[in-house]
Chain A
């Protein structure tokens, strides 16, 4: 499974990659904001997208909205990993096209559970 990880923090990208590696996954692409994420999506096959919400240039919500309007991004599972966890945040993310939601701080078990849930419905 190839993951695209979209986050402006290189620290958080590293944490997510470390966690996914522990879970047995091996292939990762990285992007520092939504615009870079769209570029990566257009250039390579991606099986699951993990994106932050608050990012400069193009945030996670706009990234997902744009992604859903492209042929290659219409049906790819998207997991949002963010500190924005108020009910209104979750509703906005789901409306934008996010499939599931992980709230920071998170454990490896939580990430695994959410990946399995979105992959099941892909």
Chain B
């Protein structure tokens, strides 16, 4: 059964653009959508929030450090050094995943979601160990490229 359908991706895109427009005051333009497990987005900071319930998985938000500095400064109205970026990326991921969860709850029981975790680095990728669906949506914010990733499995088996 396919869970990451086009309409689910539309919900994810809507949640992401809403967070950026409302909290960061930046327009995001959704770009290419990558289906499957082959794509590895290039990023230097990644926030992840897990969810569980009628389906299980995670939402990940990928950015470069310059992009993270840019949107964090826009969100807080101050320049932020690298130490402040993980908390900001974690909160943005939390809001994207939370808005996605809320919108999905109109069609199913609400998932339980985890607190966000953030990874900083450059030579890593998220490798699902389940047979679930994976989709990555590219977004453009000014000159930056950002990615939101959804991994979703139909039952309680681990997504990663």
Binding site for B on A (CB under 8 A): 8-12, 14-15, 18, 54-56, 82-89, 103-107
Contact = CB atoms under 8 A, between A and B. Distances in A.
Contact of A56 (B72, B102, B113, B115): B115
Given A11-B87, A11-B91, A107-B22, A85 B98 contact: yes
Nearest to B78: A14
B150 interface: no
4 closest A-B pairs by CB: A83-B98, A86-B110, A105-B22, A86-B105
Contact of B87 (A9, A82, A104): A9
A83 B102 contact: yes
A88 B115 CA distance: 19
Contact of A83 (B22, B88, B94): B94
A38 to B, nearest CB: 20
A85 B103 CA distance: 9
B91 A18 contact: no
Contacts of B91: 9, 11-12
B99 A83 contact: yes
Given A83-B101, A105-B95, 19 more contacts: A8-B115, A9-B87, A9-B94, A11-B72, A11-B76, A11-B84, A11-B90, A15-B75, A54-B94, A83-B94, A83-B97, A83-B99, A83-B102, A83-B113, A84-B101, A88-B110, A89-B110, A103-B102, A106-B23
Contact of A84 (B23, B84, B98): B98
Interface of B: 18-19, 22-23, 72, 75-77, 84, 87-88, 90-91, 94-95, 97-99, 101-102, 105, 110, 113, 115
- State the main secondary structure of chain A at its contact with B: loop
7 contacts: A56-B115, A83-B97, A84-B98, A86-B102, A86-B110, A87-B105, A89-B110
B91 to A, nearest CB: 4
A74 to B, nearest CB: 29
A82 B91 CA distance: 11
A105 B19 contact: yes
Contacts of A87: 105
A106 B22 contact: yes
Contacts of B95: 83, 104-105
